[in-house]
């Protein structure tokens, strides 16, 4: 592996770490969405002009156009998965907070003789 | 479980039991034992259940010391009482139970589980910077200062690791206290599978990697 490749790999990893740490940054999120539009436009162009991926690959020194597309796909996939992972975790935390508030609201104290066991929601519904 | 709660109530007057959305008779047992029943509408896992219990306890005026105690019978009430007594001296803010510290005991612990817990301990001291002889003991006691800082985001048993992270950042004084943990057939059945340690390690590692500056 040539030195430039090693540098590129390190740069990608560093960029990924940085982006994920600052995932709440508005500018970054906006950038991500603009990128999505750009990728969509590129997809249309590459359907209309199939040779263009090969030309792009030649320009950056990748052997085949399909490889270039594959690299892009992998990077997109990694970022998307990581983003979804964190979003899901944040949602889970909100969900836990909500359930906690409800549970404390419905807490039954031993002295409270009229208290009845809080019902669980019907999970089959 | 009712027996565990009844036993606890002999020493501690305020006992909060969290029913983590279970459909068996847990809620009724908690009420019979005379503990406060806090019931999650859905299952959220051990860490979230602990935080709920603490949130309830923190809301009670006059609550000064807080003990987390597993309801499956693996912990001893006198160990918990000793920890609170230690807190009362004001020497420390957090007391953590340990099975492996000198004079601590893990009765009936399978050899594989012992090895796994030791590996977990090394992983823990590497990732959190808090060096303990037992990283995943559910018996702990602490004061209000620490209880207020506990916000757990990791699901499942990774909360024990996350708790150490909170402890380190809090800068509070802690000490490990020898405790006896009974490995009964019941606690082994209700407890976690060893393979889950892979999930724990992964969660903790990702959390450490990405959540430093993003805040919680």
Reported as a single tens digit per residue, the pLDDT across B99-126 is 887 766 676 777 777 777 777 777 777 6
Residue B63, judged by CB atoms within 10 A of its CB (0-12, 13-18, 19+), counts as middle
Are A40 and A76 in a shared domain?
Answer: no
- B159 phi, psi to nearest 5 deg: -60, -30
Are A38 and A9 in a shared domain?
Answer: yes
Is residue B213 pLDDT above 50, yes or no?
Answer: no
Predicted pLDDT at A115: 65
Q: Determine how β-strand B140-143 pairs with β-strand B94-98.
A: antiparallel
Are A33 and A72 in a shared domain?
Answer: no
Query: Rounded to two decimals, what is the model's pTM?
Result: 0.74
Predicted pLDDT at B95: 93
First to last CA, chain A: 57
Are A72 and A30 in a shared domain?
Answer: no
Structurally, chain A folds into a number of domains equal to 2
Are A70 and A41 in a shared domain?
Answer: no
Q: Would you call A108 an interface residue with chain B, using a CB distance cutoff of 8 Å?
A: yes
Question: Does residue A118 belong to any structural domain of this protein?
Answer: no
B66-105: b or e for each residue (b if 16 or more CB lie within 10 Å)? bbbbbbbebbbbebbebbbeebeeeebbbbbbbbbbeebb
Question: Does residue A111 belong to any structural domain of this protein?
Answer: no
A76 vs A4, more confident: A76
| Average pLDDT value for chain A | 81
- The residues in B 58-87 lying below 8 A from A, measured between CB atoms, are 59
Predicted pLDDT at B20: 92
Contacting residues for B113 by C-beta, under 8 A, at least 6 apart: B183, B194
Q: Would you call A85 an interface residue with chain B, using a CB distance cutoff of 8 Å?
A: yes
A21·B23 Cβ contact <8 A: no
- Å from B102 to nearest chain A CA? 38
Are A41 and A74 in a shared domain?
Answer: no
Are A1 and A44 in a shared domain?
Answer: yes
Predicted pLDDT at B215: 41
Is residue B88 pLDDT above 80, yes or no?
Answer: yes
Is residue B98 pLDDT above 70, yes or no?
Answer: yes
Are A4 and A38 in a shared domain?
Answer: yes
Separation of alpha carbons A113 and B157, rounded Å:
35
Question: Does residue A58 belong to any structural domain of this protein?
Answer: no
Separation of alpha carbons B147 and B189, rounded Å:
29
Question: Does residue A7 belong to any structural domain of this protein?
Answer: yes
Predicted pLDDT at A114: 63
- Residue range of the domain that includes A98: 64-106
Residue B186, helix vs strand vs coil: helix
Token representation of residue B138: 């559910």
Hey, which bits of chain B come out as E strands?
16-19, 36-39, 65-68, 94-98, 105-107, 140-143, 174-178, 180-182
Which chain A residues are within 8 Å of B34, Cβ to Cβ?
110
Question: Does residue A91 belong to any structural domain of this protein?
Answer: yes
Predicted pLDDT at A124: 58
Question: Does residue A24 belong to any structural domain of this protein?
Answer: yes
Are A35 and A68 in a shared domain?
Answer: no
- The residues in A 44-73 lying below 8 A from B, measured between CB atoms, are none
Question: Does residue A54 belong to any structural domain of this protein?
Answer: no
Predicted pLDDT at B86: 93
Contacting residues for A86 by C-beta, under 8 A, at least 6 apart: A20, A23, B210
């Amino acid at each position: 592996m040539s030195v430039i490749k090693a540098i590129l790999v390190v740069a990608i990893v560093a960029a990924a770490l940085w982006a994920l740490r600052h995932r709440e940054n508005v500018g970054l999120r906006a950038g991500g969405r603009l990128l999505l539009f750009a990728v969509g436009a590129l997809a249309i162009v590459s359907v209309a002009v199939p040779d263009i991926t090969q030309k792009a690959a030649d320009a950056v020194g990748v052997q085949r156009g399909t490889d270039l597309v594959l690299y892009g796909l992998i990077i997109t996939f990694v970022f998307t998965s990581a983003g979804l992972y964190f979003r899901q975790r944040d949602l889970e935390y909100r969900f836990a907070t909500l359930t906690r508030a409800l549970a404390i609201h419905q807490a039954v104290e031993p002295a409270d003789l009229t208290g009845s066991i809080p019902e669980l929601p019907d999970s089959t519904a | 479980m009712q027996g565990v709660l009844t036993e606890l109530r002999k020493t501690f007057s305020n006992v909060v039991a969290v029913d983590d959305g279970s459909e068996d008779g847990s809620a009724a047992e908690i009420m019979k034992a005379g503990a406060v029943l806090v019931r999650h509408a859905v299952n959220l896992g051990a860490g979230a259940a602990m935080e709920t219990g603490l949130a309830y306890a923190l809301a009670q005026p006059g609550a000064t010391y807080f003990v987390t105690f597993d309801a499956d019978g693996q912990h001893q009430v006198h160990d918990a009482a000793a920890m609170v007594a230690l807190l009362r001296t004001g020497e420390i803010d957090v007391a953590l139970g340990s099975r492996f510290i000198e004079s601590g005991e893990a009765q009936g612990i399978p050899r594989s589980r012992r090895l796994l817990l030791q590996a977990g301990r090394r992983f823990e001291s590497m990732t959190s910077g808090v060096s303990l002889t037992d990283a995943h003991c559910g018996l702990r006691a602490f004061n209000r200062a620490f209880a207020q800082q506990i916000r757990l985001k990791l699901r499942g048993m990774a909360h024990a690791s996350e708790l150490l992270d909170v402890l380190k950042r809090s800068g509070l004084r802690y000490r490990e206290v020898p405790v006896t943990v009974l490995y009964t057939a019941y606690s082994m059945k209700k407890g976690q599978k060893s393979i889950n340690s892979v999930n724990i390690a992964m969660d903790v590692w990702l959390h450490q990697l990405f959540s430093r500056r993003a805040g919680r």
